[in-house]
Chain A
Amino acid sequence: MEKRELKPSLPAKSSPPAEILQLHWQLGVVGYLLGFIAFSGLFVTPLAIGPWFAFGLVVMVGFFLFPRWSGAIPAKVWRAAQILVVAVFGLDLFLGGGIIEALVRLNILLVTYRVVSPRSRRDDWQLVLVGLFLIIISGVFSVSAWFIPQALLFTATTMFFLRGVNRLDSMEYRQAVPQYWQEFRWSSFWEGTNFLASRIQWAVGGLGFLFLVALSALIFVAIPRLDLDSRFEFLQVRGMQSLSGFDEEMGLQDITNILQDNTPALRVDVPEDASLPAVPYWRMLAFDQYENGRFRLSRSVAEKQESWRGRQATSVDFDWERADIGPGNVNARWTFFLEPGVSRYLPLGGPFGELRLQEEQSFRHVPALQIIGQPFVNGSVFIYQFRGKGVFAERIPDPELALRLETAEAGAYPQTTVELPVNEASREYLQEVNAQLRGEEELSALGYARRVSEYLQERHGYSLQSQVPGGDKDIVVRWMESGNPAHCEYFAAALVLLLREQGIPARVAVGFAGGRRNAFEGHITVRYSDAHAWVEVFDDGYWHRVDPTPSAEGEDGTGEESAEENGLGFLQDTGFGAFLDGMRMLWYRRIVSFDEAEQSDFFTRQRERLEALGEEIKAAAVGVRQAVMDWLRGPWDLRRGATLLGLILFLALAIGVARVLRWRWKFWWWRWRGGAAARHPIREKASRGLRRLQHQRVSGPERRDNLAEIEKALLIFRYGPEAQWPDSPTKSLDQLLLKLKRN
C-alpha cells in the first residue's frame, strides 16, 4: 500500500516559508547547545583526548559564530568528512590507542560533525545519541559532580530539541529545506515562531522537566541494586602518575611541593558517634630505607609485596594483627573519597575492622610496612569504606620485628630501618648530638624519640623555604648543623637519622595530617596542603607515631586529645567554596557510593519517618477531636455563643473571599492567555449553564417558558456582545444559574 506520509504541500524547488526556516535555524542552534553541553564534561575527564577535544571545540565555536559556513560547504565535502571520520577511527585503533579512548575520540569527532553539518531527521537523533554517549563516558570516567548539572542541562535541551524535531516533522516541509543554513540571519533568528509557541507550552515544558527530575530521583533510588559477584573493571581509568612524594620514593622537597596546592585531596565521611583526634593522621606510605637525602621502599620490601583481590577484607586478610584501636562503635562506617591522581596508596588511619570497596579490586599490600596500594593510580575518585572502631591508631603492632631484626641480612628489611648510610663526618655529628641528648637518664626508645623531637623543635623553626649549606656531610646533617628553619621532611629525616644512630628502628611515614569539617555536609575535607611527613619509632613491639615538626599539634604530635576533649573541635570550612565542596560530597555520598546497603537503609529510614508522621498526625487528630469535644461539652454562656457565631461568620467570609479570588484567578488566567473572546470566563460559565440546560427534562408549559427565558439570557452571555450584558455580569450570571438550578 502506498503510504503518503506528510507529503510536502509546496513544490520542492520553491522557497520554504519563513517560519520553517526559523524552526530549522533554532533547531540548528539548539544542536550547538547540545554539542557544547556534551563537550563540557570532557574538561574534567582523565582520558587522553586533549587535542581532539580542542579540535572539536574550535570547529564548533567557529561554525557557531559563522553559521553560513555550514550551508556554503558542498554536500560532497560533508560526505567525504564522514568517510574521513571513520578512517581516523580505524587509524587510531590501529596505532594502539585503547578501545575506550578511541571510541571517545570517535565520539568527539561525530558530535562535532553532527553539530556543524546540515542535518536530516535521522541525523538529529544521531546527534542526541552521540552527545549522550559522550556525557556518559565523561561522567563514568571522571565521576565528577559536574555530571549532575550536565545531565540535567542535556536532558532539558534534548527535550526542547526533540520537540522541535517532532514539530518540524509534523509541518510537512522537512525534506524541502536541505540547505537551511545558507539563508541564516541572526537578525531574524528569534522573530516569529519557535518550538514552544505559547506561554502555556513553556509552562507545561517547565513543569514536565521538574516532573522528570523528581521521577528520575525516585527511579534512581528505587531501582533494585544487585550485588553481582563479578563486575567489569573497564570503567577504571589507569595510567596516571602518583604525586611525587606519595610514590615509592620521597625527596626532601616533595611533600613541600604538594603543600602549595590547597584543593581537596581526600574527603572522609565520619560516623556520627566517632571520636576524632584533634589532628588526625591519614597514613599512606612508610619508607624504611634512607640514602643521601631520599627515603624509599627498600628492594626487599618491594619484593615481598603481595597481591590481593576482592571486595571486602579485614586487617587479618592483609596479615596485619588486630590492634588495640580503642573504644567505639564496631559497626561505624568511615567512607573515604580519594581524589584522582593523588596516589595509588590508600590513606589509612591504621588497622581496621573491615575494608569494603564498591567493586572487586586488585591490590598490592606490604605487610611489613602496613600499607595498601592499587596496581595503578585512579583516574577518577576512589571510594572505600572502613567498618569498625576508630581507625586512627597511634601505634601499629609488629611483635615479630625484634626477632626478625636479629636474623635479617644487611640491606634487607627490617635491617633497613636501623641502617645509617652516611659518611663518617656525618655519623660523628649525629653521635655528638645523641650524646648531648641522651645524658645519663634511662629512656625508652619512644621517650628518647620525644626528647629528640623537642630538641629539633627548639633548634629549628618551621618554614616552607629551607636553606641547607654546602659540604661533604649528609644533607640532613648539614641542615641540623645550620639551625635553619625547614619543613616536615627535614625534621622527620633528622629524627630518623638520630634514632638510627642510636640503633633504634625508625622509618618515615607520609600522608596527610589534619583536615577541616565542612559546615554544610559535616564531612572532613583533607587538602593537599595537609600533606605531611612524620616518623614511626619501634618500641616494645609497636611502631609509635612521633611527629617532630614544630607546626604539628600536641607536644609530641600524637594528637591524643580528641576534638571533644580539647573543646576546640575541628576548624570549619564555611562560605561558598565550602558549599560547593558540600555539593560535591553530596554527589559522592548520595549518588556515586549509593549501593544496596544504602538503598536498604534509605527505605528503612523512609518507612520509619512515615510511621512517625502517621503517629504524629493520629495523635494531633485525636488531640483536636478531644479539644473540640471538651469545648462543646463545657457550660454554654454568651461568650462561647459569640465565639461560635464568630467562627461561622469567619468561615462564611473565607468562602466568599475564596470565591472572589477564584473568579479573579480565572480572569487573570484568561488575560494571561491572550484574552481571546471565546474563552472569556463569563462566556465559559454561560456555556456550562447551556450544557446543563440541554439535559434538563422539560415538563409543563410554565417551566418550558422559564427555561426558554433562561436559555435566551444565557445565549446572550455566551455569544452576545459584551455591550448587551448587564452592568454586573458576574452577579447576573450567578443569579441566572441559580434560577436554572431551582427550575
Chain B
Amino acid sequence: METTVPAHPEALSRSWQGSNQSARQTVGDIGSGGDRVVFSEWEGPASKPVDRGSRWLWKLFLGIFIPQERQRFLPTASGYVLIILAVGLCAAAYNTGSNILFLVLALLLSLFILSGVLSWMNFRSLRWRAEGELPFRCGQRGTIRVRVDNRKRYLPTEEVFFSLQDKEQKHQEVIPLKVPLAAGETVWERSIVIPAKRGRMKVILSGAQSKFPFGFMKKSIGRPIPLEFPVWPKRISCRVQQHPWSQKHLHGETSRHPGQGDDLIQIRRYEYGDPFHLVHWKATARTGRIMIRKMAGDEKEGLYFYLDTNKRLWRSEESFENFCRLAGSLAEKLFAAGQFRGYFGPTQSLALIKKEEEVWHFLDLLSGLARETPRPSKERPIIRKNTLQFEPYGETGAQAILAGQVFATS
C-alpha cells in the first residue's frame, strides 16, 4: 500500500547511506511484506546539494532555457502539431503582414515557453531512488518501489512517471505518480514484477518523465538506474517420501530416555542470523533481550546437499530447473526444521549453514547455477550417509536421494 508520509531525510539518509542493490539492509518498521531494501543511490535534481556558488543565479536562469545534462525533450504528437501550426502561422504572418497573426504566434510561443517553465518548476528539487522488497522468486510477485521526494518548499510535483524496462523480457512497465505530491512530501510508488526465470534479473529504472503541464512535450531528467537482482528458483511443494530419516527427524521420534529428542536444553542470546521461530518470547520479555531456544535436536546431525551440475546427469534444461527448485525448497524446509547443515559439489567445497543469511547465499548460488561439463578432478568428494544427492526423475523431473532411497521428488 502506498503511503504519503512527511519526509524526514535527515533521519533516513543516515541509516541508508552507502547502500546498494547487493546489500540487504532491513528497514524493519516499514511495511510487513518482504524486506525493504534500498536498491540505488538518489537520482534527480535534488540528489546533490544545491550549488550556491557565485554564479548560481545565472546558472538557474540558463537552466530554464538550455537543457542540462541528462535532460531530454521530445515533442508529443500534439506538440508536433503545435510546432507545425506555429511555423504555418509564422509564414502566414510574414506573408500577410497581419498583426493578428503575429499576436497569435506570440501567444503560441509564450504558451510553449510557459509550458517549459512550469515543467522545470515541476521537476525542480525532486529526487528519487529505487527501493523494493527482497527476495525475487521465479514466477512470484516481487515489488520494486520508487521513492520520490519533493523537496520544494511551496510547489507540488505532479504527473511524473517512471518506467521500468526489462530488456530481456522486452517489457516496459510505467510507474506513475498517482496523486500530486505536495511540497516537502514523499511517496512510494510500487511496481509489481514477476520474474519469468531463475537467474539474474536486470531492469532499468528510467529517469523521471512528465508531460506536465499541457502535454506538448515529453520531458525526462535524471540518468537511468540499472538494477540487478538474483532471482531465486521457484518455491515448490516438494513431496517428501516415506524415508526413515524423514520419519525420524521431520515427523518426530519417540524415545524412552528423558532429555533426548527436541527438548529445550538451553536458552542463549540472539545472534545475527538466528531464525525467528527459535525466539523464546517469554525469556525475551523477562530479560528485555531477544533470547533463542537451543533444542536437543540442534545437536543432531542434519543433512548436506551435494550439488552436481554435470551436463551428462542433467540432460534436459527442464529437469535441471526442477532440480534447482527442489534443492531450494528443500533447503528452506530443512532449515526451518533445523536440519540443513551445508552444501558442497564436485568443484564446490563444503559450505556450512548456521544462519538464515547463509540460506540466502545458498539460494543466491542456486539462482546462478547452470549445467556444465565437469572438469576432471583427482579428488572425489566424500558422500556421507546424511548427504542428499539429486538426480533426474522421469523426463523433466528431479528427485533427492538419501542413502540410496528416494527422499523427495519435485
| Total B residues in contact with A, Cβ cutoff 8 Å | 56
Nearest chain A CB to B254 CB, angstrom units: 55
| A579 in contact (CB, < 8 A) | no
Q: Are A216 and B100 in contact (CB under 8 A)?
A: no
Expressed in whole angstroms, the Cα–Cα distance for A225 and B215 within the complex equals: 31
What residues of chain B lie closer than 8 Å to A248, measured between beta carbons?
none
What residues of chain B lie closer than 8 Å to A132, measured between beta carbons?
85, 104
| A78 in contact (CB, < 8 A) | no
Q: Which residue of A lies closest to B176 (CB)?
A: A170
| B214 in contact (CB, < 8 A) | yes
What residues of chain B lie closer than 8 Å to A140, measured between beta carbons?
96, 98, 100-101
Q: Which residue of B lies closest to A171 (CB)?
A: B178
Proximity string of chain A (218-247) to chain B, C-beta cutoff 8 Å, 1 when within and 0 when not: 011001011010011011000000000000
Q: A129-B81, A136-B101 are in contact. Are A204 and B155 (CB under 8 A)?
A: yes
Q: Which residue of A lies closest to B171 (CB)?
A: A2
Nearest chain B CB to A218 CB, angstrom units: 8
What residues of chain B lie closer than 8 Å to A136, measured between beta carbons?
89, 100-101, 104
Looking at the complex, which of B6-14, B270-278, B318-326 is the stretch in contact with chain A?
B6-14
What residues of chain B lie closer than 8 Å to A169, measured between beta carbons?
211, 215
| B402 in contact (CB, < 8 A) | no
What residues of chain B lie closer than 8 Å to A595, measured between beta carbons?
97
| B87 in contact (CB, < 8 A) | no
| A259 in contact (CB, < 8 A) | no
Q: Are A155 and B156 in contact (CB under 8 A)?
A: no
6 contacts between A and B (CB under 8 A): A1-B170, A6-B161, A200-B156, A679-B184, A694-B10, A718-B8
Expressed in whole angstroms, the Cα–Cα distance for A169 and B158 within the complex equals: 12
Q: Which residue of A lies closest to B183 (CB)?
A: A679
Nearest chain A CB to B15 CB, angstrom units: 12
Q: A6-B176, A140-B100 are in contact. Are A694 and B14 (CB under 8 A)?
A: yes
Expressed in whole angstroms, the Cα–Cα distance for A343 and B129 within the complex equals: 72
Proximity string of chain A (143-171) to chain B, C-beta cutoff 8 Å, 1 when within and 0 when not: 10001100100010001001101110111
Q: Are B174 and A6 in contact (CB under 8 A)?
A: yes
Looking at the complex, which of B106-114, B132-140, B257-265, B369-377 is the stretch in contact with chain A?
B106-114
Q: A678-B184, A690-B10, A719-B8 are in contact. Are A166 and B103 (CB under 8 A)?
A: no
Q: Which of A129, A166, A204, A693 contacts B215 (CB 8 A)?
A: A166
Nearest chain A CB to B203 CB, angstrom units: 13
Q: Are B101 and A159 in contact (CB under 8 A)?
A: no
Expressed in whole angstroms, the Cα–Cα distance for A666 and B182 within the complex equals: 17
Q: Are A215 and B156 in contact (CB under 8 A)?
A: no
| B74 in contact (CB, < 8 A) | no
A-binding residues in B (CB < 8 A)? 6-11, 14, 78, 81, 85, 89, 94-107, 109-111, 113-114, 117-118, 121, 154-156, 158-159, 161, 170-174, 176, 178, 180, 182-185, 211-215
| A542 in contact (CB, < 8 A) | no
Q: Are B103 and A208 in contact (CB under 8 A)?
A: no
Q: Are B106 and A231 in contact (CB under 8 A)?
A: no
Q: Are A216 and B110 in contact (CB under 8 A)?
A: yes
Q: A200-B155, A219-B109 are in contact. Are A139 and B100 (CB under 8 A)?
A: yes
Q: Are A678 and B215 in contact (CB under 8 A)?
A: no
Residues of chain A in range 669-727 having any CB-CB distance to chain B below 8 Å: 669, 676-679, 684, 687, 690-691, 693-694, 718-719
Extra A-B contacts (19), CB below 8 Å, given A162-B215, A220-B99: A1-B170, A4-B173, A132-B85, A135-B104, A136-B104, A140-B96, A159-B214, A167-B158, A208-B118, A212-B107, A216-B106, A228-B97, A231-B95, A231-B96, A593-B99, A669-B154, A676-B182, A687-B10, A718-B8
| A15 in contact (CB, < 8 A) | no
B-binding residues in A (CB < 8 A)? 1-7, 125, 129, 132, 135-136, 139-140, 143, 147-148, 151, 155, 159, 162-163, 165-167, 169-172, 197-198, 200-201, 204, 208, 211-213, 215-217, 219-220, 223, 225-226, 228, 231-232, 234-235, 358-359, 591-595, 669, 676-679, 684, 687, 690-691, 693-694, 718-719
Q: Are B215 and A219 in contact (CB under 8 A)?
A: no
Q: Which of A167, A211, A591, A690 contacts B99 (CB 8 A)?
A: A591
Q: Are B159 and A216 in contact (CB under 8 A)?
A: no
Q: Which residue of A lies closest to B10 (CB)?
A: A690
Q: Which of B107, B156, B174, B185 contacts A678 (CB 8 A)?
A: B185
Q: Which residue of B lies closest to A695 (CB)?
A: B49
Nearest chain B CB to A359 CB, angstrom units: 5
What residues of chain B lie closer than 8 Å to A167, measured between beta carbons?
158-159
Q: Are A125 and B107 in contact (CB under 8 A)?
A: no
What residues of chain A lie closer than 8 Å to B100, measured between beta carbons?
136, 139-140, 143, 147, 591-592
What residues of chain A lie closer than 8 Å to B78, measured between beta carbons?
125
Q: Which of B95, B96, B99, B109 contacts A592 (CB 8 A)?
A: B99
Nearest chain B CB to A377 CB, angstrom units: 19
What residues of chain B lie closer than 8 Å to A211, measured between beta carbons?
114, 117
What residues of chain B lie closer than 8 Å to A593, measured between beta carbons?
99
Expressed in whole angstroms, the Cα–Cα distance for A645 and B359 within the complex equals: 78
What residues of chain B lie closer than 8 Å to A234, measured between beta carbons?
96
Q: Are A125 and B81 in contact (CB under 8 A)?
A: yes
Expressed in whole angstroms, the Cα–Cα distance for A228 and B91 within the complex equals: 12
What residues of chain B lie closer than 8 Å to A592, measured between beta carbons?
99-100
Expressed in whole angstroms, the Cα–Cα distance for A231 and B85 within the complex equals: 20
By Cβ-Cβ distance, the 3 closest A-B pairs, closest first, are A678-B6, A219-B106, A220-B106
What residues of chain A lie closer than 8 Å to B105, measured between beta carbons?
219, 223
Nearest chain B CB to A552 CB, angstrom units: 38
Nearest chain B CB to A236 CB, angstrom units: 10
Q: Are A151 and B97 in contact (CB under 8 A)?
A: no
Q: Are A212 and B110 in contact (CB under 8 A)?
A: yes
Q: Are B101 and A212 in contact (CB under 8 A)?
A: no
Q: Are B214 and A215 in contact (CB under 8 A)?
A: no
Nearest chain A CB to B70 CB, angstrom units: 22
Nearest chain A CB to B353 CB, angstrom units: 40
Nearest chain B CB to A367 CB, angstrom units: 29
Nearest chain B CB to A636 CB, angstrom units: 39
Nearest chain B CB to A600 CB, angstrom units: 15
Expressed in whole angstroms, the Cα–Cα distance for A684 and B94 within the complex equals: 54
Expressed in whole angstroms, the Cα–Cα distance for A198 and B113 within the complex equals: 23
What residues of chain B lie closer than 8 Å to A1, measured between beta carbons?
170-172
Expressed in whole angstroms, the Cα–Cα distance for A171 and B9 within the complex equals: 29
Q: Which of A204, A232, A358 contacts B95 (CB 8 A)?
A: A232
Q: Are B213 and A163 in contact (CB under 8 A)?
A: yes
What residues of chain A lie closer than 8 Å to B106, measured between beta carbons?
216-217, 219-220, 223
Q: Which residue of B lies closest to A213 (CB)?
A: B110
What residues of chain A lie closer than 8 Å to B178, measured between beta carbons?
171
What residues of chain B lie closer than 8 Å to A212, measured between beta carbons?
107, 110-111, 114
Best-buried of B97, B98, B100, B121 by chain A (most CB within 10 Å)? B100
Expressed in whole angstroms, the Cα–Cα distance for A215 and B170 within the complex equals: 45
What residues of chain A lie closer than 8 Å to B154, measured between beta carbons?
200, 669
What residues of chain B lie closer than 8 Å to A693, measured between beta carbons?
10
Nearest chain A CB to B133 CB, angstrom units: 20
Expressed in whole angstroms, the Cα–Cα distance for A565 and B180 within the complex equals: 70
Expressed in whole angstroms, the Cα–Cα distance for A691 and B184 within the complex equals: 14
Q: Are B180 and A155 in contact (CB under 8 A)?
A: no
Q: Which residue of B lies closest to A693 (CB)?
A: B10
Expressed in whole angstroms, the Cα–Cα distance for A677 and B107 within the complex equals: 41
Best-buried of A1, A166, A167, A676 by chain B (most CB within 10 Å)? A166
Q: Which of B156, B174, B183 contacts A4 (CB 8 A)?
A: B174
Q: Which residue of B lies closest to A715 (CB)?
A: B11
Q: A1-B170, A165-B215 are in contact. Are A151 and B107 (CB under 8 A)?
A: yes
Q: Are B85 and A235 in contact (CB under 8 A)?
A: no
Nearest chain A CB to B347 CB, angstrom units: 39
Q: Which of A135, A219, A676, A687 contacts B110 (CB 8 A)?
A: A219
Q: Are A172 and B214 in contact (CB under 8 A)?
A: no
Q: Are B95 and A198 in contact (CB under 8 A)?
A: no
What residues of chain A lie closer than 8 Å to B98, measured between beta carbons?
140, 235
Nearest chain B CB to A103 CB, angstrom units: 13
Q: Are B156 and A166 in contact (CB under 8 A)?
A: no
Q: Which of A166, A198, A358, A679 contacts B159 (CB 8 A)?
A: A166
Nearest chain B CB to A587 CB, angstrom units: 10
